[in-house]
Amino acid sequence: MSAQIISGKDIAADIRSELSGEVAKLVAETGVTPGLATVLVGENPASQMYVGMKNKAAAAMGIYSRQITLPIDTSQDELLGVVAGLNADPAIHGILVQLPVPDHIDEGLVIESIDPLKDVDGFHPMSVGRLATDSGEFFAPCTPAGVVEMLVRSGHDPAGKHVVVVGRSNIVGRPLASLLIRKAPGGNATVTVCHSRTPDLGAVTRTADILVVAMGRPEMVTADMVTPGTVVIDVGTNRVDDPDSEKGYRVCGDVLFDEVEKIAGAISPVPGGVGPMTITMLLSNTVKSARLATAR
């Protein structure tokens, strides 16, 4: 029997519809339109595509979107000046500096220069600290927040479940573990975090009620590493050579979908899974920031 397909594309569409209503209500009641600024340094094709998708999605929901594209030789001080200007701009509620930045710019310093109240990516140390301690208002990193929404909205609430997270990055693995153990909706799970140095990884993944894979290794999780009935969320997006494809490559996740789909209870596809949720949660954070700004 095939697994339930957890479509991030469909869930993202539902959330965006809800957010559009929130935006319209906010504008009607306060006159404030949520504003998102994206800053792109250089002409990386993938980054240009991602920024374009974010801006298009924002505009479709009634969110004001401003893109700032800077030449690749922009100095660190110049970039910090742009961020400072956006920090001070009341029309902007969310700031996203598209990563990676050129090598001559200190990525950490740029992230720390963003006003935490406008840190809709959720990467600022204050955001990370508040998430880890579950205290105060914060913006959760978009991909982990999207994973939690996918689980809850597809009927697989993590509460009381053993969730195994494969991957310990600051962008996905670690913040996802923090979200899942919170005493809050979407939390209250028992969490095990695995990584590249975990001995006998399969022995751990087979203990999962919910398995989230975010290692960036194409199709590394195979059927023998998953217990029948497990809920599997695949965060990976990898491009692998495929001479049979018209483009010469195909996009796949970190899970060998064709094998695992046959035994999993539910599984997210790649593409069409976590990817659409990441942009959606960025927009959700922007609306939240605007709402908080009107209350201050």
**What tens digit of pLDDT does each residue of 5-54 get?**
999 999 999 999 999 999 999 999 999 999 999 999 998 888 888 888 88
Asked if 211 and 226 touch (Cβ cutoff 8 Å), the reply is: yes
Q: Which of 14, 56, 76, 98 is catalytic?
A: 98
Cα 40 to Cα 43, 47, 70, 206, 217, distances in angstroms: 8, 8, 6, 41, 27
Please list, in sequence order, all residues whose beta carbon lies within 8 angstroms of the beta carbon of residue 218, skipping any fewer than 6 positions away: 236, 238, 240, 252, 253, 254
pLDDT of 192: 98
Q: Which of 4, 10, 48, 54 is catalytic?
A: 54
pLDDT of 175: 97
User: What single DSSP character describes residue 221?
Assistant: B
d(CA 141, CA 35) in angstroms, rounded, equals 18
At residue 160, the 3 state secondary structure works out as coil
pLDDT of 1: 59
Has 76 been annotated as catalytic?
A: no
Has 67 been annotated as catalytic?
A: no
Strands 249-252 and 238-241: antiparallel
Has 161 been annotated as catalytic?
A: no
Asked if 25 and 18 touch (Cβ cutoff 8 Å), the reply is: no
pLDDT of 246: 83
Please name the helix (run of DSSP H) or strand (run of DSSP E) that holds residue 107, with its range, or none. Answer: helix 107-113
Task: Go through the domains of the chain in sequence order and give each one's CATH number.
Answer: 30-116 (3.40.50.10860), 142-276 (3.40.50.720)
pLDDT of 165: 98
Q: Which of 118, 119, 121, 209 is catalytic?
A: 121
pLDDT of 49: 86
**pTM for the complete prediction?**
0.95
pLDDT of 171: 94
Where the chain has pLDDT below 70, the residues are: 1
Closest CA to 54 of 287, 278, 272: 278
